Amino acid sequence: MDPQTFIGALRQLLPTHDAHGEARHYLQLPLIGDAEKAVLNDVLDDKGRWVSNMGPQVAELERQLEEFTGIAHCVVCVNGTTALQIALELAGVGPMHALPGFPDKPQRDLVICPSLTFVATANAIAHRGAVPAFVDAEGQTLGMDPAALDAFLHGQCARRDGETFHVESGFRVGAIMPVHIFGNPCRIEEIAAIAAEWSIPIVEDVAESLGSWVGGVHTGRFGVASGTSFNGNKLITTGGGGAIFTDDEALAKRAKHITATAKDPTKPGWHYWHDAVAYNYRMPNLNAAFGLAQMGRLPGLLEQKERLFHRWKTILGGIGLDLVEPRDGTTSNRWLNAIRLPAGTTMEQRNELLMAVDAEKIYCRPIWVPMHKLPMYQHCPAGPLPVTEDMERRIINVPSTARLADQ
Does position 120 bind ligand PLP by CB under 6 A?
A: yes
What 3 state SS string does 122-162 have? HHHHHHCCCEEEEECECCCCCCECHHHHHHHHHHHEEEECC
Across 67-80, b (16+ Cβ under 10 Å) vs e yields eebebebbbbbbbb
Q: Which residues are CB-neighbours of 342 under 8 A, at least 6 positions away?
A: 1, 322, 394
Which is nearer to ligand PLP, 14 or 177 (by Cβ)?
177
Residues whose CB is less than 8 angstroms from the CB of residue 79 and which lie 6 or more positions away in sequence, other chains included: 229, 230, 231, 240, 241, 242
Candidates 61-69, 203-211, 273-281, 320-328; binding stretch for ligand PLP (CB under 6 A): 203-211
**260 binding ligand PLP? (CB under 6 A):** no
The residue (of 172 and 305) whose beta carbon lies closer to ligand PLP is 305
- Kindly report the length of the chain: 407
Among the residue ranges 77-85, 265-273, 317-325, 343-351, the one whose residues contact ligand PLP (CB under 6 A): 77-85
- DSSP of 207-242: TT-TT-EETTEETT-SSSEEEEE--TTSSS--SS-E
Q: Which residue number, 263 or 365, has a Cβ lying nearer to ligand PLP?
A: 365
Give the integer Cα–Cα distance in Å for 231 and 119: 14
The phi and psi torsions of 397 (rounded to 5 degrees) equal -85, 145
Residue 270 CB burial class (10 angstroms; 0-12, 13-18, ≥19): exposed
Task: Give the residue, chosen from 156, 231, 330, 332, that forms a contact with ligand PLP under the rule CB under 6 A.
Answer: 231
226 sits near ligand PLP (criterion: CB under 6 A):
no
Contact 372, 385 (CB under 8 A): yes
Q: Tell me the number of residues near ligand PLP by CB under 6 A.
A: 14
Stretch that binds ligand PLP, among 52-60, 74-82, 162-170, 261-269 (CB under 6 A): 74-82
Q: Using CB atoms, what's the residue nearest to ligand PLP?
A: 80
- Interaction of residue 179 with ligand PLP, rule CB under 6 A: yes
CA–CA distance, 88 with 56 (Å, rounded to integer): 27
Other CB atoms within 10 A of residue 126 CB: 16
* CA neighbours closer than 13 Å in the CB half-sphere of residue 202: 25
Binding flag, residue 80, ligand PLP (CB under 6 A): yes
| 392 belongs to the binding site for ligand PLP (CB under 6 A) | no
Q: How far apart are the C-alpha atoms of 358 and 360, rounded to whole Å? A: 5
- Binding span for ligand PLP by CB under 6 A among 200-208, 267-275, 317-325, 342-350: 200-208
**207 near ligand PLP, judged by CB under 6 A:** yes
Query: Quick one: 183 or 353, whose CB is closer to ligand PLP?
Result: 183
Is 208 a binding residue for ligand PLP by CB under 6 A? The answer is yes
Candidate segments 75-83, 132-140, 185-193, 297-305, binder of ligand PLP by CB under 6 A: 75-83
Quick one: which of 229, 287, 304, 388 contacts ligand PLP (CB under 6 A)? 229
Q: Which of 28, 115, 117, 400 binds ligand PLP (CB under 6 A)?
A: 117
Residue numbers of the site for ligand PLP (CB under 6 A)? 79-81, 117-118, 120-121, 179, 205, 207-208, 229, 231, 242
